[in-house]
Structure 1
Amino acid sequence: MKKVLFATTALIATAGVAAAEVKFSGYGRFGLGYVEDRSGTVPNISTSGGVVTTINSAVVDTDDAILVSRFRLNIDGIVETDGGVRFEGRVRLQADEDSSTGEANSAGLNGARFSVIFGGLRVDAGNVAGAFDNLANYYGNEVGLELFAGQYSGVDYSFLGYSSTGSGSNAVFFQYSVGDFAFGASYDQATVGVNGVATDADRWDISATYTFNNITAAVAYGQTDAGISGVSDPSLTVLTLGAEFGDFSGTLFVADDATEIAATDGTAWGLSAAYNLGAATTLLFTYGDGNADADLQQVALGAIYDLGGGASLRGGIGVNDCDICADSTIVADFGAQFNF
């Protein structure tokens, strides 16, 4: 009787595995990162008579060059119905260094993302990426092992993004693709500060993408609405262009960054390029800026050397600056990455 029971249990388990699929993917990276005049925070403990009275943080100078690392593991559960509807769930396990001190952090799971996919329709719920985060060529060709520079650096508006290490915004994202066109939209409730008071606001964005031959054009608009009379609602409009010509690829980026804050409200722009030199080497360039005083300007050069088998050497060097910054800052990194 026990043998029959064990055999039946094994058959049911096998059938369950055959009907569903679990996938693992991700990457690891490690190397050296350099930030000129790097500073960080450390615990600041005050005592009186041997008794702890206050615990806060103190800003201290740390080593400019630190060991940088990341391990990322995506865990995807997938099942497809007889009618062709695909259901997916994803969580991500990720460990990074503390970018201020270089000390290692523990790995932790993020918030779950759930997806329903049928034909050209995709709906995500939970910890999702919004229309800007999914927009074609928004990020362009980022530079560095840590992707420390990008053409979008002049943007200050806070849009819905996928969280690799947190719970996310518990939002909804919709995308529909038909032929050369794709349309996207997302919605969530964000917490914003209004006159120093934390307030819930409706945050939404929409996008459209069109690909023709080797060129892709995309536009997106988003707004955060606190619903308070007399209070302006920040918004962001982005236009991107991307093209590939043999060994060369490039992107253009322009945005109306209406943050409603004088130091950051204005226009942002940027561009990026990648060129395959052959011999497994790719050169990268990116530039981003904006006309507001606090907009971050980034200029960076980088390279990737493909070692084969999913492994590569990567690095870059760049400069961060802004109109109200006391000094420009040199940033650089170099290391290895392996994808699995």
Structure 2
Amino acid sequence: MKKVLFASTALIATASVAAAEVKFSGYGRFGISYQEDNSKSYEVTFTNQNTGQTLTTASGATITGVTTTTTTGKATVSDTVEETILVSRFRLNIDGIAETDGGVRFEARVRLQADDTNDGEAGEAGLNGARFSVIYGGLRVDAGNIAGAFDNLANYYGNEPGLENFIGQYSGVDYSFAGYSSTGAGVNGVFFQYAVGDFAFGASYDQGADTWTAPGGVLTKTDGRDRWDISATYTFSNITAAIAYGQTEAAPGGEKETLTVLTLGGEWGDFSGTLFVADDDVSSDALNGTAYGLSAAYNLGAATTLTFAYGDGSADDDTQQYGIGAIYDLGGGASLRGGIGQSKAGDGDSKLRADFGAQFNF
């Protein structure tokens, strides 16, 4: 009797597993990177033996975010680090999938990711927030750690040169939209997309996190700011056009923030390219204006592809970036990648950045 019961239990468990699917995918990359005037911010705990004095550092590093000036406290310190460092990333996507008899597909994803810490040290791997999806025909609905309409917009990111994709045509955009978080909890929002033929429509919504402050010693809660965005995409022949608009609720005493983006992308034989134009209206006047950029990729043959990207903006403090890269396909999902480019914010000095390494997909 016990043997029959154990056999029945095992059969039921096997049937349950067979009705669903768990998939693993991702990539690894590692190499070397050069960043001119490289710096990093640290949160440090300090002991202030002269309470009430202004904090300084022996190295001249910048101190911000001091939480207390009593005998002990915490502060954020920005300091220079090595310009040439080892860089790496390991990413593993874990997808649980089930499909009903009627063809409705349910998915859930978490991601395990480990990155370098921008100062030559290795970072620890950790799981991010979960994303849940329901898919039926051309309809898709995501909930949880979502990528919003901008993050999903066709040709928003274009071609990004370098092993670390450190140059982007979108560099002049300063609006903060809902993006999928690989290492954090994410925004906990909802994304909707419907595709039919050559047309697709998307929309997303999330509520910002509540914040607590203590002005005058009175603990006060500020509600999160609602944020939504919509998009439309149309593909005709070898060209795809996409437009998106997003808005974030005004903060107390402030004004709402908005972003409008138009992208064009196309392929012509071995050449592909994208155009990018955006208008953002954010809380800082020095960041409001038009952002623009372009990117391109060209297949030279012999398994080699060249990439290029340029991004800038009309606002005083917008970030300008431009650079080139190359990819050499080794086969089997492995490739050698590298890039070199310049970046500067506003009227600041341009900083050189370059990297080279290997990437393998699995």
The counterpart of 2:307, out of the listed 261, 284, 295, is: 284
Deviation >6 Å, runs of 4+: none
Alignment partner of 1:312 is 2:335 = yes
- Corresponding residue SS for 2:14: helix
1:236 corresponds in structure 2 to 259
Alignment partner of 1:332 is 2:354 = yes
Report the CA distance between 1:48 and its aligned residue: 5.0
Distance change (3 Å), C-alpha of 1:224 and 1:57? closer
Q: Which amino acid aligns with 1:20?
A: A
Q: Which amino acid aligns with 1:31?
A: G
**Contact 1:120 1:177 (C-alpha < 8 Å) held by counterparts:** yes
| Larger strand proportion of the pair | 1
Q: How many angstroms apart in 1 are the aligned matches of 2:131 and 2:351?
A: 37
Report the CA distance between 1:323 and its aligned residue: 2.7
Residues 101-157 of structure 1 deviation map (CA, whole Å, 9 limit, x = unaligned): 121111110000000000110000000000000000000001111111110000000
1:49-64 → structure 2 map (5 Å cutoff): 53-64=72-83
Residues 271-325 of structure 1 deviation map (CA, whole Å, 9 limit, x = unaligned): 0000000000000000000011111000010000000000000010000013331
Would you say how many aligned residue pairs link Structure 1 and Structure 2?
Answer: 334
Unaligned runs of at least 5 residues, structure 2 = 51-70, 216-220
Report the CA distance between 1:12 and its aligned residue: 1.0
Distance change (3 Å), C-alpha of 1:15 and 1:243? same
Residues 61-119 of structure 1 deviation map (CA, whole Å, 9 limit, x = unaligned): 211011110000000000000000000000000000102x1211111100000000001
2:346 corresponds in structure 1 to 323
What percentage of residue pairs aligned between the two structures are identical?
71
Tell me the C-alpha RMSD between the 2 structures: 2.0
**Contact 2:45 2:72 (C-alpha < 8 Å) held by counterparts:** no
The counterpart of 2:198, out of the listed 180, 192, 199, is: 180
**Contact 1:199 1:226 (C-alpha < 8 Å) held by counterparts:** no
Distance change (3 Å), C-alpha of 1:142 and 1:255? same
Report the CA distance between 1:56 and its aligned residue: 3.1
**Contact 2:254 2:283 (C-alpha < 8 Å) held by counterparts:** no
Q: Which amino acid aligns with 1:125?
A: A
**Contact 1:44 1:58 (C-alpha < 8 Å) held by counterparts:** no
1:39 corresponds in structure 2 to 39
1:18-97 → structure 2 map (5 Å cutoff): 18-42=18-42, 43=44, 45-46=46-47, 53-97=72-116
Q: How many angstroms apart in 1 are the aligned matches of 2:47 and 2:121?
A: 23
In the superposition, the TM-score normalised over structure 2's length comes to 0.88
Q: Which amino acid aligns with 1:222?
A: G
1:95-106 → structure 2 map (5 Å cutoff): 95-99=114-118, 101-106=119-124
Q: How many angstroms apart in 2 are the aligned matches of 1:47 and 1:270?
A: 48
Q: How many angstroms apart in 2 are the aligned matches of 1:114 and 1:191?
A: 20
Distance change (3 Å), C-alpha of 1:241 and 1:15? same
